[in-house]
Amino acid sequence: MVTEQLPTAVPTSLRRVDEAHRRFGAFTDTYLAAMWAGDPLADAFVADFPDVGHGRAMRMLRQACREGIDAVADAPASLRALFAALDDVPAWLDAERIYRDSQYTSRYSRASGIVLGAASLVSGYANSAASRPLELTGRYVENAGARTIEVGSWLLAVNQPGGLDRFSDGFELTLRVRVIHALVRADLARRPDWDGAAWGVPICQAYLAYTLVEFTLIPLRAMRRIGAPYLPHEEDAAYARWRYLGHLLGIDEALLPRDAAEQERLEEIYLLTRPVVDDYCRALVASINRDFLVPEIEGVLPRRLARRAPQVVHALERLFLGDEIADDLAIPHTRLTGVIARTGPLLSAVNHRRDLRATSLPRRTRRGKAYEVEQEQRLRRDWNVQHDLVDASPSGGRPHPARGD
């Protein structure tokens, strides 16, 4: 990571930095420097938006994703530089192996949908600096369901066979996510209510890298805890997939985790140094629980047990996050946490035996894929969401920098 021109001060919101130095040595310096780093290539492209025009620049981005950069007339040098890096595929990528080793993971799609909300997304809200962009853009408490559907649509695309290919929907959505980050970063950096001394750069490299933990290490662990474990080669494929997605998202190689061990190190330093939880973090969790997770769990439970949905959500979150973070986020205690924790290993044993019967995998995967399609259609209908990402969301309501409002 290039650090010559980055500030040397530590963001004042971070905690236990001395302990981080003792535990992680030189990696701590890399992580702290990343608090002051954005995404030079995407940021340079966004800096050209005033001259190119927001709508025209986004159309250029989409065309470059779909047809290649040479098809884009009058492409600015910044966009050409971005795609020169993207089209230089890393030698370590083995996409065919990833596709082969993850071809049956959709058999657990029902469980993975719950884990996305109760583990992956909620884990990111236990950091008042990392979640600040959501607060300042009004994107989550305003509409928890829409943003969860946007994230789910992106994940569904990148996890499809071929979802990492150069001209796939997954590739394009990932690049749009990257540019959305850059647009939000540029907008917040200009605002007087962004406290750079406390929080570092908006959507900094350190917190961007942690999103790979949110979508790999955390859900894989959570799936095991509720009795839906993936096979070892499937977990390896997940880490490989998200390593490449991190590359596409612009994460610096110095922070880009290659495997489970490096994701675990990243999670540990993130949790050790994370800023304190504030009321907005708690509001985020209350919002996703009230507006999304509880209604979803109500639809899964038998009708006579639907009233227990809030307790089930709280139990899952405590199981996934641990008591320290759950207490910070004001997630209520419930006896169901222990029940689910004891049931998980039993279900894991049953499902593992099923997974070893190779003939069961295609059948269960077909059912899982059908559920994914039905679930997305239902969520979009229930929440009246027709777009894929926020840059394509309808105008009206609070302006958002991704739309150029």
Residue 118's pLDDT band, with cuts at 50, 70 and 90, is very high
Question: 312-336, pLDDT tens digit by residue?
Answer: 999 999 999 999 999 999 999 999 9
Q: What percent of the chain has pLDDT over 70?
A: 97
> What is the pLDDT at residue 7?
62
Residue 227 belongs to domain spanning: 17-38+89-391
Residue 65 placed within a domain:
no
Mean pLDDT calculated for residue range 127-133 = 93
Q: Give the pLDDT score at 3.
A: 41
Cα–Cα distances in angstroms (integers) from residue 176 to residues 59, 107, 182, in the given order: 11, 28, 10
What dihedral do alpha carbons 159, 126, 207, 103 form, nearest 10°?
A: -10
pLDDT confidence tier of residue 76, bands split at 50, 70 and 90: very high
In a domain, 11, yes or no: no
What average pLDDT does the segment 220-226 reach?
A: 97
Task: Convert the pLDDT of each residue in 262-282 to its tens digit.
Answer: 999 999 999 999 999 999 999
Do 157 and 170 contact (CB within 8 A), yes or no? yes
What is the per-residue burial (b if ≥16 Cβ within 10 Å, else e) of 323-354?
Answer: eebbebbebeebebbeebeeebeebbeebeee
Total of domains in the chain: 1
Cβ proximity of 210 and 200 under 8 Å: no
Lowest mean pLDDT of 100-104, 115-119, 181-185, 247-251, name the range. 115-119
> Would 341 be classed as within a structural domain?
yes
| Chain segment 193-217, per-residue pLDDT in tens | 999 999 999 999 999 999 999 999 9
Over 80: is that where the pLDDT of 138 sits?
Answer: no
Q: What is the pLDDT of residues 13-61, one digit of tens each?
A: 999 999 999 999 999 999 999 999 999 999 999 999 999 999 999 999 9
The whole-number pLDDT of residue 5 equals 52
**Quick one: which of 225, 231, 234 has its CA closest to 346?**
225
Q: What is the mean pLDDT of the chain?
A: 94
Query: Is the pLDDT confidence value at 2 over 80?
Result: no
Distance CA 36, CA 198 (A): 11
Q: How confident is the model at residue 1 (pLDDT cuts 50, 70, 90)?
A: very low
Torsion angle of C-alpha atoms 49, 55, 61, 62, degrees rounded to 10: 170
Residue 194 belongs to some domain of the structure: yes
Band of residue 358 on the pLDDT scale cut at 50, 70, 90 = confident
Alpha carbon distance 180, 151 (integer Å): 13
In a domain, 114, yes or no: yes
The arithmetic mean of pLDDT across residues 352-361, rounded, is 93
Q: Is there a domain that residue 221 lies in?
A: yes
Look at residue 64 and tell me if it is in a domain: no
pTM: 0.95
Domain assignment present for 79? no
